Structure 1
C-alpha cells in the first residue's frame, strides 16, 4: 500500500519553516509518511491583508517574541540560528529553483541548504551567487538552473502555486495538508499533522471507525 502523503508548504523567508524543513524528513520517515515539498511566497498573501512586510515587522511585539522563541526552539532542536539581515529575505529566486529541484530529486536537499545559508550562516539568499554556490555543492549545474529559473514557464508555475495556496486558505508558513485536506499551521503542529496523515489513511482503509 502506498504511504500516506503530507504536503509541506514553506516560504524561504519564514523562520519557523526553517525549523520544520530541517527535521521533517526524519519525522516523516519515522511516521511512514511521504512528503510533497511545496515552496511558495507569502508576500502576496500578506499584501492581500494590507501588510507590506512580515507580520513580525508589522507588529514589533510579535517580532520580539518570535526572535526569542526561535533562539529557544533552535537550541532545543540542536540547530544553529542567527537572525538574517535584512529580514524578511527575498526568497523568490530560491523558490523557483526549489520547484525545479522538486522535479529532479534535489529539491529537499536544496531547500535545507538554502535555509542553512540563511538562518545558520546569515547569508543573503536573494544573491544568485550564493544560490549558485549551493547548487554547485549539490552537484547541480548552476548556470543552466538559474537560467531556467528565469523562464516564463518557471515563473508561471510559482505564481500558480501561490494562487493555489491562497485558494486553500493558507495564511502563513509552514503549513501542512493531509490527504483529506486537513490543514495544520506552524512548526509546532508538524507532529500532529503527521499523526493526522497516518490516521486519515487508517480511516480510509477501514482500520479506524
Structure 2
C-alpha cells in the first residue's frame, strides 16, 4: 500500500512581520490554499521549552542578530507595509515569552477558532502595537472570540500544551525549517513570502509561471536579537532572505 502523502503545510510565527505578510496573502489572495494546508506555529522557545527540546535532541536554527540587520529590518518593514497599503507598528519586546501567544493558538485551534485567533493576534501586534506576550492582551483577544480568557492566556502553564508545542517545533526541525514563513509541499520547500506563489501553484497542482517569484516580499531567517532598539522591535526574528 502506498504511503499516504502529508498535507501541505506552512509554519507561521505570530512574532514575525514577514509571516504576517504571508498570512495576509494567503487569506486575501489565495483563500482556497489557506483552507487546504496545515497551519503550524513556530516561535523562539523559553527556558522550559528549550530544555524539553534539548532532551529530544532538537536544535532549532536560532542565532544572534546584528545591530545593522536589526536597523535594516525596521526600514524594510516600513517600505513593505506602505507598498501593501497599510501602516505597520513595530512594538518593543522586552524579555518576551512567546509561548504565551503561540500555545494560546493551540487552545483556539482546538475550539475551531485558530484562524480568527491568528488574525486578532496579528492585528494586535502589527497594527495596534500591543504586547502579545502579555497574558492580559491574549486573554482579551480570547474573550472577544468567545473563548475562555484564562485558559488561553495561561496556556503556557499547561504541561500537555507545552508538550504539543514541543511537538510542533520538532516538526519544524524535521522539515528543515531555517526561517519563516516556511512552506512545505511533499519534498519541496519554499522559504519567504517571495516563494508563496510557487507554493500556491504546487498546492493547486499547477505549473509555476514566469514572474511567480515576487522579490519584493521577503522572508526572514530565524534569529534572536542582541539588543532592543528604542522605537523598534529588537525582537524581530531575523533578516531578509
TM-score normalised to structure 1 length: 0.79
Structure 2 residue 149 is matched with structure 1 residue 142: yes
Partner SS state of residue 180, structure 2: coil
Partner SS state of residue 178, structure 2: coil
Partner of residue 188, structure 2: 182
Would the aligned equivalents of 1:37 and 1:102 in 2 still touch at CA under 8 Å? no
Partner of residue 204, structure 1: none
Structure 2 residue 20 is matched with structure 1 residue 18: yes
Structure 2 residue 108 is matched with structure 1 residue 101: yes
Distance 1:92 1:50, change over 3 A: closer
Would the aligned equivalents of 1:13 and 1:87 in 2 still touch at CA under 8 Å? no
Q: How many residues align?
A: 191
Q: Deviations over 1:20-65 (max 9, x none)?
A: 12231233325686132111224569x75572x5xxxx22222222
Partner SS state of residue 184, structure 1: strand
In structure 2, runs of 5+ residues without a counterpart are: 1-5, 54-58, 208-241
Q: CA deviation at 1:81?
A: 0.4
Distance 1:148 1:70, change over 3 A: closer
Distance 1:162 1:32, change over 3 A: closer
Partner of residue 112, structure 1: 119
Q: CA deviation at 1:5?
A: 5.2
Q: Deviations over 1:120-179 (max 9, x none)?
A: 11111110000011111112121233345521110000011111111211011111112x
Separation in structure 1 between the aligned mates of residue 69 and residue 91 of structure 2, nearest angstrom? 17
Structure 2 residue 159 is matched with structure 1 residue 152: yes
Separation in structure 1 between the aligned mates of residue 62 and residue 150 of structure 2, nearest angstrom? 37
TM-score normalised to structure 2 length: 0.70
- Of 29, 46, 52, the residue aligned with 2:31 is 29
Q: Specify which structure has the higher proportion of helix.
A: 1
